[in-house]
Amino acid sequence: MHPDSGRKPIDAAFARELRAQLPAAVGVVTTRHGDELHGVTVTALLVASHIPPRVVVCLERPSRSAELVAASGVFAVHALSWSQMFLADRFAGRAPLVDPRFGGVPHRSGVTGAPLLANALAWLECRVVAAWPAGDHVVFLGEVVAAEAAAGGDALVHFRRRFHRLQG
């Protein structure tokens, strides 16, 4: 057992360290509000229910993403493939030279108006049915209104602050 176990205060830095220990699928949440397209890299995502299909995403608050998803009431969540690592950096705001985030990124509009990124392992398009503040994040529950899955491809996973390739 770790000598500090149960004793270390769970401050913001330690909470990030704990999160870094959880291998997580890397996704991008997109939305459209009026003419504004937005996308954000996330690992806080999960399929919460199969029947009916429900998805949960957690977005930092305050943030442009949380504001726009709350205002539009729609979002699409994408599971990125290994070959889309550049999108994970782009939509985390780590590629300032190529802002705006959608510049040169192939996408089309879904039934909700949210942009759907081409070549993701899967995407699920959702309408927000509930939202709860959870500390420095907002938890959005979405009802899935459309979805698509790719036949193959390797997954992009985040673990210990690095991206990894998970063979499909």
Ligand X SMILES: Cc1cc2nc3c(=O)[nH]c(=O)nc-3n(C[C@H](O)[C@H](O)[C@H](O)COP(=O)(O)O)c2cc1C
The total number of residues written for the chain in this structure: 168
Nearer to ligand X, 26 or 144 (CB): 26
Tokens 């493939």 sit at which residue? 81
Show contacts with ligand X in window 4-23 (CB under 6 A): none
Nearer to ligand X, 2 or 47 (CB): 47
Cα distance between residue 138 and residue 96, in whole Å: 25
Q: Which of 17, 25, 33, 63 binds ligand X (CB under 6 A)?
A: 63
Q: What are phi and psi of 54, to 5 degrees?
A: -135, 140
Show contacts with ligand X in window 137-166 (CB under 6 A): 158
Beta strand pairing call for 54-60 and 45-49: antiparallel
Cα distance between residue 135 and residue 36, in whole Å: 27
Q: Does 64 bind ligand X (CB under 6 A)?
A: yes
Nearer to ligand X, 41 or 72 (CB): 41
Q: Does 65 bind ligand X (CB under 6 A)?
A: yes
Helix (H, G, I), strand (E, B) or coil at 97: helix
Positions in the binding site for ligand X (CB under 6 A): 26, 40-44, 58-60, 63-65, 92-93, 158
